């Protein structure tokens, strides 16, 4: 292949399959086992949680690929208003089939200026959905195949939609139908859905928490991916790149992408490219500034002013912070600060580090907070 045609192999954008899916063998095996072991196997009902950029969407994509490879049908949904309705439409794509055993009520939906659309009564939804999925399974099972349904961004789902889908899957599972169901979402999903009485069923889903991936695996993946495009990344440059990722999946793609880009530009005229430590350092700097724009900024936007005050108090330390010291800096008592500590742990923004200590769970958030402290205080109306 001519060198100039080779494109950057890294994929630093949401939901894009990376060149190497690093450090996720166990969860992939769990899912494959679920497919192989039939109805009732734990991997047939799974919930994936993780902070932004840990690879939830990519995991769902990979699961669908695996299921399709063995002849299954797959349906993917991203939670937002009307999810159960959309799922139903995917199960019964032909409008002519709509009159099956229920009465759709026609209503005008004015979303985005488009008119019309068949709208199912919410109260009938669980039953309707169950019938539609049953019918679909009747067809698939005759050929020995099954149906995988994946729901992304589940923390944002409407309760009615979740109830309809959960009851449907529960019934079909109890009937031993050949179905698998995986939902993925931010850690806040746990308190939103799993504390809900109606969702007992979802609580039984096998939990898979996506975290950082081991640096040895990152190093290997960098080596392989650079080599596959005719570049050499090794020694100090490789070690700098690897450590800069902190094992955070999105950062792995950012670092790989920017180092590759820098090296490609700087060594255009050379026959074979070896990445230098200077290339690696420039690439990491570029990656970091993209990380701030795409992860830290949006993450902080989703938090309350007091959550941010807590984080800013933490950012004063170079390592793990003492929870007592943070309360002190906030000018609040321990109990008050504790409430925010719990919230931030649940959101996987911070994590416990031994007794009475917390640290940031998102790489480089400390540095970002320090650099943007003045702006964050101002924008959040934080005065002290």
Binding-site member from 43, 55, 126, 380 for ligand ATP (CB under 6 A): 55
Q: How many CB atoms lie within 10 A of CB 49?
A: 23
Does 253 interact with ligand ATP (rule: CB under 6 A)? yes
Residue 34 or 249 with smaller CB distance to ligand ATP: 249
Residue 15 or 235 with smaller CB distance to Mg ion: 15
Angle between helices 235-245 and 215-228 (to 10 degrees): 120
Region near ligand ATP per CB under 6 A, out of 46-54, 73-81, 91-99, 118-126: 46-54
List, in order, residues 6 or more apart from 260 with CB less than 8 Å away.
8, 9, 10, 226, 229, 231, 283
Residue 152 or 161 with smaller CB distance to Mg ion: 152
Binding-site member from 57, 168, 245, 253 for Mg ion (CB under 5 A): 57
Residue 55 or 283 with smaller CB distance to ligand ATP: 55
Q: How many CB atoms lie within 10 A of CB 225?
A: 20
From the list Mg ion, ligand ATP, none, partner contacted by residue 54 (C-beta under 5 to 8 A by kind)? ligand ATP
Residue 20 or 35 with smaller CB distance to ligand ATP: 20
Binding-site member from 9, 53, 126, 283 for ligand ATP (CB under 6 A): 53
Does 253 interact with Mg ion (rule: CB under 5 A)? no
Cα(87)–Cα(169) distance, integer angstroms? 13
From the list Mg ion, ligand ATP, none, partner contacted by residue 339 (C-beta under 5 to 8 A by kind)? none
Structure-block tokens of residue 359: 């640290």
Does 15 interact with ligand ATP (rule: CB under 6 A)? yes
Q: Are 103 and 177 a contacting pair, CB within 8 Å?
A: no
Find the shortest distance in angstroms from Cβ 296 to ligand ATP: 12
Determine the residue with CB nearest ligand ATP.
55
Residue 55 or 146 with smaller CB distance to ligand ATP: 55
Binding-site member from 250, 260, 364, 368 for ligand ATP (CB under 6 A): 250
Does 302 interact with ligand ATP (rule: CB under 6 A)? no
From the list ligand ATP, Mg ion, none, partner contacted by residue 125 (C-beta under 5 to 8 A by kind)? none
Query: What are the beta bridge partners of residue 119?
Result: 105
Does 50 interact with ligand ATP (rule: CB under 6 A)? yes
Q: What does the binding site for Mg ion look like in residue numbers (CB under 5 A)?
A: 56-57
């Amino acid at each position: 292949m001519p060198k100039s045609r080779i494109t950057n192999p890294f994929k630093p954008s949401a939901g894009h399959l990376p060149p190497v899916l690093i450090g996720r063998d166990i969860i992939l095996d769990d899912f494959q086992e679920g497919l192989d072991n039939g109805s009732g196997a734990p991997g047939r009902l799974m919930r994936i949680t993780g902070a932004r950029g840990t690879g939830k969407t990519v995991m769902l994509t990979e699961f669908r690929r695996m299921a399709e490879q063995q002849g299954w049908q797959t349906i993917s949904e991203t939670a937002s208003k009307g999810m159960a309705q959309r799922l139903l439409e995917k199960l019964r794509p032909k409008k002519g089939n709509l009159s099956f055993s229920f009465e759709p009520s026609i209503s005008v939906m004015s979303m985005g200026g488009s008119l019309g659309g068949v709208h199912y009564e919410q109260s009938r939804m669980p039953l309707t959905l169950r019938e539609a999925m049953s019918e679909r399974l009747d067809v698939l099972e005759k050929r020995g195949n099954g149906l995988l349904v994946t729901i992304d961004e589940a923390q944002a789902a409407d309760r009615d939609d979740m109830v309809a889908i959960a009851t449907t899957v529960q019934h079909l599972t109890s009937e031993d139908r050949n179905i698998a169901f995986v939902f993925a979402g931010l850690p806040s999903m746990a308190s939103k859905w799993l504390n809900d009485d109606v969702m007992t069923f979802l609580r039984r889903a096998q939990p898979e928490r996506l975290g950082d991936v081991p640096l040895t695996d990152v190093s290997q993946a960098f080596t392989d991916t650079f080599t596959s495009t005719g570049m050499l990344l090794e020694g100090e440059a490789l070690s700098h790149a690897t450590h800069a990722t902190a094992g955070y999946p999105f950062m792995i793609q950012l670092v790989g992408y920017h180092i590759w880009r820098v090296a490609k530009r700087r060594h255009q005229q050379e026959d074979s490219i070896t990445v230098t430590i200077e290339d690696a350092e420039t690439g990491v700097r570029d990656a970091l500034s993209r990380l701030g724009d795409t992860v830290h900024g949006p993450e902080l936007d989703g938090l309350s002013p007091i959550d941010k005050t807590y984080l800013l108090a933490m950012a004063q330390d170079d390592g793990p912070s003492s929870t007592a010291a943070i309360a002190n800096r906030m000018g609040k008592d321990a109990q008050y600060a504790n409430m925010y500590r719990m919230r931030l742990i649940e959101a996987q923004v911070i994590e416990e580090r031994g007794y009475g200590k917390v640290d940031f769970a998102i790489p480089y958030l400390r540095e970002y907070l320090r650099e943007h402290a003045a702006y964050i205080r101002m924008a959040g109306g934080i005065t002290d």
